[in-house]
Structure 1
């Protein structure tokens, strides 16, 4: 892996393939390795793929107490600029999609095309009673996971997140041990993210200045409130498109890598 300086941290990244640059931005609790199924399922055949570890994740540096989304946005900007002339294609998942949307609202010139899968930008739909009702169960689970991690029970907090938010009951025990270890390792960084008061907010008016084509995707097995968030993003973005991954949930690049890679490739290449 290579590394690049982004402000106060060194970011590690893995690069493979040739062609237009495609930067992959992972979500919480994991690192760049979560993208490997989709990269191997043909993304590397069409693009110069750069998958990096966000600050506090994987082999990238962690600054204690530094976990704001704004810092992650600045890191992504530094990475894109270090790779060569912008704009770049960017595909992002979950909290990584929130980071990408936040940067697009501030620095739209950095982006050629963007793929966002289910950014948890709950702040956009707090005026939507149906979305708020749908989020109640998730909100309670998040608070429980935060309490456990704050008390040093990282494994217990990770299990709550996996089983009550991300993948469903029983999923923790069926996960390979290295993957469980990855979740536990990143528990404190996730807590930093959650303690950022602006983690779920977005400058929607700023995002409207982003003229890059944007693919907004969701999975049929995901909670409905993600669709409400995407509705708000679609209304703000001048060149938004929508896609639904049938049978998939919050991590289609892991569970449905062939479908994900084919969809992303077609969109980014304009085919």
Structure 2
């Protein structure tokens, strides 16, 4: 099992964890901003997505967490900041709660609690995968019913999502249905930042970032007015600046 990753820049390490159903390309804007700010940036594809291997099994929370741990250990990273988005926040939380290699944690639009949407999407993905992904990505960038992202970039993201393993796309939704982050959230004892758009049309703020921030002692919650779920894309300059301020 091999994970694809990019390792660029010099300085304190930052590991970027993308969410379902995309790849490390989601972080294009952040990679440049973080490297220019003097950071070493590692952006990887979760198993089943992007250019990583696509085995038939292993699309569960525990395996994703082990993959992240193996990547960090294999690169010899210490004092790393984990910056995660959406469902990628689940393994970032679990790993940060158990590892001494992580110094700070950033959770962007966290999708870590079970949601009825997961079962709905899993039923649709089996026969209408591309249509479902198209709808999901519309929700990712929607603000008051209108897209906050240019259509060319959204279609680029759709191509990335469509190239993922169909099995991984479906099984990750099953993992979302059975999520139980309470114990790991309570164990977090490192500086933690939660960032989310106030107009998140995919997972509402009160069920996502607000709930996570309340569960993590001494965490910081920053919300972005008129920003959608995929705020690192649509509001990338503001989002990256907030994160870099926290990391420094």
Q: TM-score range by the shorter chain?
A: 0.7 to 0.9
Give the helix-richer structure, 1 or 2.
1
Q: 1:255 and 1:77 mapped to 2: Cα distance?
A: 29
Structure 1: gaps (5+ residues): 1-8, 124-134
- Equivalent position SS for 1:243: strand
Partner of 1:181: 159
Look at both structures and tell me which one has the larger radius of gyration over its CA atoms: 1
Provide the alpha-carbon RMSD of the alignment: 2.5
TM normalised by structure 1 equals: 0.80
Tell me by how many angstroms 1:250 deviates: 1.3
TM normalised by structure 2 equals: 0.86
String of CA shifts for 1:61-84, please: whole Å, max 9, x gaps: 011132112111111111111222
Q: 2:100 and 2:68 mapped to 1: Cα distance?
A: 13
2:125 is the counterpart of 1:149: yes
Contact map agreement 2:197 2:205 (CA 8 A) in 1: no
Q: 2:241 and 2:194 mapped to 1: Cα distance?
A: 15
2:54 to 62, 71, 83: 62
Partner of 1:128: none
Contact map agreement 1:217 1:242 (CA 8 A) in 2: yes
Structure 1 residues 143 and 187: CA distance shift in structure 2, 3 A: farther
Tell me by how many angstroms 1:116 deviates: 0.2
Q: 2:131 and 2:208 mapped to 1: Cα distance?
A: 29
1:50 to 42, 54, 63: 42
Q: 2:34 and 2:208 mapped to 1: Cα distance?
A: 27
Partner of 2:87: 95
String of CA shifts for 1:216-260, please: whole Å, max 9, x gaps: 111121147333433343333233111112332112221111111
Number of residues paired by the alignment?
Answer: 241
Structure 1 residues 229 and 157: CA distance shift in structure 2, 3 A: closer
Contact map agreement 1:154 1:187 (CA 8 A) in 2: no
> 1:184-203 residue pairs with structure 2 within 5 A?
184-186=162-164, 188=166, 189-196=168-175, 199-202=178-181
- Equivalent position SS for 1:109: coil
